[in-house]
């Protein structure tokens, strides 16, 4: 059992506060004291954060979050001090952490849905006054709460590759828990962003012989190929594969792709929805589409699913993940770090004072992720 270095209070950090779209200043830098740790908490320094598309959705008004707040939930962090007496954490350990803090005791936690805990707290989505005030990754420090699962990051994984583990990659691992093992399987991934490319790699590692991946940006085609999939940007291939696909995974957040997915699915195929986590996701489908393909609408609990499919599902909604999926994400990345070009997906790194500029680049979607280093005054891009 390791003991973290005891720090002397008061100490302060810097955080960038999001004040909402209608404020005179959207982002304001603040220096504020860090509260002393309560039992079970961990004080960490943010080594490197990344900008998730949900952050982009927030600053562009596609989703509403409480304000004022500190945004950012994807990051690799470093232990400064902790009060977890039974853990093996030590000062300097690099960690990834679950984006959801949960009680572990309510009916949803006990059923394997920690991300739906009745006392749920989500980093980067909480009001500034909720908890420590250092709740998001666009800050020099975060206080990780008692119920948050943490995983050490192996040295073989760089900070740049580690930053998105606790959102995009962990969510991918949750989705893969539902995917059946099919000999010579064929899959279609709708979306060529981080989630899409992670999913392509995961499906290939899972044994799928052919994986197609579609998107809107032709410059992503080389990445799709290098992540083990076939770029699909035209209707000819779509028609050729109609009724031949075992699994379709939606990770683009665009509802009008669903009809294409249904057309490509085999009768009794599996359709996973992952990306449409926003209100503008109304579906234009008919009951006939479901009936004629012998599909079934069903939400399946991840902890009860055993990769044997007594009833094939049309729709399984994947939202966030459970603690085990974070462990699986780190293991998957460590296993495949030299096989896929994760490092090249990452774009430029900005300092905290340039967060507005970083967000503008993220909106453009040229890179898989734009990075933010809150603990440096040097901007590199």
Q: Would you kindly state where each structural domain of the chain is located, as residue ranges?
A: 11-166+341-372, 174-298
> What is the chain's percent helix, strand, coil content, to nearest 5?
30, 25, 45
372 close to 355: Cβ distance less than 8 angstroms: yes
Checking if the pLDDT of 242 tops 70, the result is yes
pLDDT at position 298, please? Answer: 39
Q: Which residue has the higher pLDDT, 220 or 271?
A: 271
Cα separation of 178 and 316, whole Å? 8
Cα separation of 211 and 232, whole Å? 10
Q: What percent of the chain has pLDDT over 70?
A: 87
pLDDT at position 118, please? Answer: 84
pLDDT at position 216, please? Answer: 75
Checking if the pLDDT of 300 tops 50, the result is no
DSSP-derived letter for residue 373 is E
pLDDT at position 235, please? Answer: 60
Average pLDDT over residues 81-101: 94
**Could you tell me the CA-to-CA distances from 174 to 284, 293, 301, 325 in Å, in that order?**
26, 26, 11, 6
Q: At what angle do helices 194-205 and 323-336 cross, to 10 degrees?
A: 80
pLDDT at position 163, please? Answer: 97
79 close to 142: Cβ distance less than 8 angstroms: no
pTM over 0.85: yes
Q: From the options 3.40.50.720, 1.10.1380.10, 3.30.2130.10, 1.10.260.40, give the CATH code of 174-298.
A: 3.40.50.720
Closest CA to 44 of 374, 343, 354, 378: 374
Average pLDDT over residues 217-224: 78
Cα separation of 75 and 361, whole Å? 18
Cα separation of 335 and 261, whole Å? 30
Cis peptide before 68 (omega within 30 of 0): yes
What is the architecture, at CATH level 2, of domain 11-166+341-372?
Answer: Alpha-Beta Complex (3.90)
Cα separation of 219 and 169, whole Å? 22
């Amino acid at each position: 059992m390791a003991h973290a270095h005891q720090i002397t209070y008061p100490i302060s950090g810097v955080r960038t506060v999001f004040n909402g779209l209608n404020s005179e200043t959207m982002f304001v830098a603040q220096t504020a004291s860090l509260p002393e740790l309560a039992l079970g908490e961990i004080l960490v320094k943010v080594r490197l954060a990344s900008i998730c598309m949900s952050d982009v959705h927030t600053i562009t008004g596609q989703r509403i979050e409480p304000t004022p707040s500190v945004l950012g939930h994807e990051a690799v962090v470093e232990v400064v001090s902790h009060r977890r007496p039974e853990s093996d954490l030590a000062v300097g350990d690099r960690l990834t952490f679950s984006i959801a803090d949960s009680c572990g005791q309510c009916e949803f936690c006990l059923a394997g849905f920690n991300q739906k805990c009745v006392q749920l707290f989500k980093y980067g989505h909480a009001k500034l006054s909720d908890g420590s005030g250092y709740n998001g990754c666009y800050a020099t420090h975060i206080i990780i709460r008692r119920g948050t699962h943490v995983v050490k990051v192996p040295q073989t994984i760089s900070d740049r590759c580690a930053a998105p583990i606790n959102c995009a990659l962990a969510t991918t691992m949750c989705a893969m828990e539902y995917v059946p093992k099919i000999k010579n399987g064929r899959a279609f991934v709708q979306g060529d962003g981080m989630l899409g490319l992670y999913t392509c790699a995961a499906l290939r590692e899972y044994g799928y012989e052919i994986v197609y991946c579609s998107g809107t940006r032709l410059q992503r085609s080389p990445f799709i190929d290098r992540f083990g999939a076939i770029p699909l940007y035209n209707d000819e291939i779509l028609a050729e594969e109609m009724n031949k696909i075992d699994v379709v995974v939606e990770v683009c957040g665009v509802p009008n792709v669903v009809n294409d997915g249904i057309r490509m699915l085999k009768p009794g195929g599996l359709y996973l929805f992952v990306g449409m986590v926003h209100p503008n996701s109304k579906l234009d489908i008919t009951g006939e589409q479901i009936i004629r393909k012998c599909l079934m609408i069903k939400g399946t609990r991840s902890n009860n699913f055993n990769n044997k499919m007594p009833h094939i599902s049309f729709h399984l909604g994947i939202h966030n993940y459970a603690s085990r999926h974070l462990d699986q994400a780190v293991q998957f990345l460590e296993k495949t770090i030299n096989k896929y070009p994760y490092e090249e997906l990452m774009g430029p790194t900005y300092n905290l004072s340039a967060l507005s500029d970083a967000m503008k680049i993220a909106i453009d979607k040229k890179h898989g992720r734009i990075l933010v280093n809150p603990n440096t005054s040097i901007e590199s891009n």
